[in-house]
Amino acid sequence: MGKLDGRIAIVTGAGQGIGRAIAEKLAAEGATVVVTDLNGATAKEVAEGIGGDALAVPTDVTSRDSVGAMVAEVRERFGRIDVLVNNAGWDKAGRFVDSDPADWERAIGINLVGVLNTCKAVLPVMAEQGAGAVVNLGSDAGRVGSSGEAVYSAAKGGVIAFTKTIARELARAQVRANCVCPGPTDTALFADFAPDPKLREALVRAIPFRRLGQPADVANAVAFLASDEASFITGQTVSVSGGLTMS
């Protein structure tokens, strides 16, 4: 018996990295997973790898129309939505004073507005059901700041605050919302952000556990918060950072 048996779970940005690990973990715990990603080919690959009733739906979280179509397809196919994991994200490293405003719009659009779009479409469904769990992926950059990630940090800080607010607003409907904040995690996105081995080594030295996080570390926390084991937990922010940040 998995702790998510019978649940219908949507995971955004699930074509690779942390999102893929989350989709695979939720499926291993018994959930039927809807794998969404801007890249339809990678979404399909992940869904096929999971097997069963897993469904791949190409989705652009920055587009309300795209999100609305995805949610409509999930409701038509499965009749309900029990778990929403907002993982889709994007970042471009660089000092804020040298940044391009076009990149601000992309970072805010994917990391923050994307979460607003999916929650706007899914929360009424969960409220009507009288049950549901939302897990938003924030970032420790949104808790303590991160050099070279000013706008990303701002967007993720917004996700953290938004999560607490929807947790308050939806509590009476028995809909929970929590935020998981990964620290430095060994993914392709991290490799793009920190291509210099010396920067990687410096980060590892700064982490009390002396290693980078793995996607599975984050996925395990998400699966717990999505499950009934966390039935009395809402509005919380949990860092998965090997002790790099403590609060």
Q: What angle do CA 198, 203, 209 make, to 5 degrees?
A: 130
DSSP string, the chain: --TTTT-EEEETTTTSHHHHHHHHHHHHTT-EEEEEESSHHHHHHHHHHH-TT-EEEE--TT-HHHHHHHHHHHHHHHS---EEEE-------S-GGG--HHHHHHHHIIIIIHHHHHHHHHHHHHHHHT-EEEEEE--THHHH--TT-HHHHHHHHHHHHHHHHHHHHHGGGTEEEEEEEE-SB-SHHHHHH---HHHHHHHHHHSTTSS-B-HHHHHHHHHHHHSGGGTT--S-EEEESTTSS--
Strand order in the sheet with 8-11: 55-58, 32-37, 8-11, 83-86, 132-137, 175-182, 237-240
- Enzyme catalytic residues: 152
Tokens 């993914």 locate to 187
Hey, which residues does 117 pair with through a beta bridge? none
Residues in the chain: 247
